[in-house]
Amino acid sequence: GAGVSQSPRYKVAKRGQDVALRCDPISGHVSLFWYQQALGQGPEFLTYFQNEAQLDKSGLPSDRFFAERPEGSVSTLKIQRTQQEDSAVYLCASSWYSGGRSYEQYFGPGTRLTVT
């Protein structure tokens, strides 16, 4: 595909349920990022992958959040035992990587998670 895709676009979960959010990055992009965007706020960094390696997970808010990218392409963000404060838009972005850094990020449309 031409851009980053995410699924589902909308997810409603009851408190305590587990959810899985999928991200398909642009083909060939080594770097993949997950962000959480609360209403009226800018994206907040959650975690970063370089190929299949999760190099930075400092932004994950709790051990209920888990991300993986097993084959270095598609990534899944899993949230266990969802809480109301998890309600947000979850954005995925991918970018080229060269010379020790990532470049401009290309974002997917996001998954809006509502926990009731």
Partner 1 sequence: AQSVTQLGSHVSVSEGALVLLRCNYSSSVPPYLFWYVQYPNQGLQLLLKYTSAATLVKGINGFEAEFKKSETSFHLTKPSAHMSDAAEYFCAVSVNTGNQFYFGTGTSLTVIP
- Interacting residues toward partner 1 by CB under 8 A: 4, 6, 31, 33, 35, 40-45, 48, 50, 55-56, 91, 93, 100-110, 112
Sign, CA torsion 55/111/8/31: negative
| Minimum CB distance to partner 1, residue 63 (Å) | 20
Nearer to partner 1, 67 or 93 (CB): 93
Nearer to partner 1, 19 or 33 (CB): 33
Q: Distance between CA atoms of 35 and 91, rounded to whole angstroms?
A: 5
| Minimum CB distance to partner 1, residue 104 (Å) | 5
Burial (CB count within 10 angstroms: exposed 0-12, middle 13-18, buried 19+), residue 88: buried
Nearer to partner 1, 43 or 65 (CB): 43
Q: Distance between CA atoms of 105 and 26, rounded to whole angstroms?
A: 10
Least Cα distance to 54 among 41, 72, 78 occurs for 72
| Minimum CB distance to partner 1, residue 102 (Å) | 5
| Minimum CB distance to partner 1, residue 81 (Å) | 27
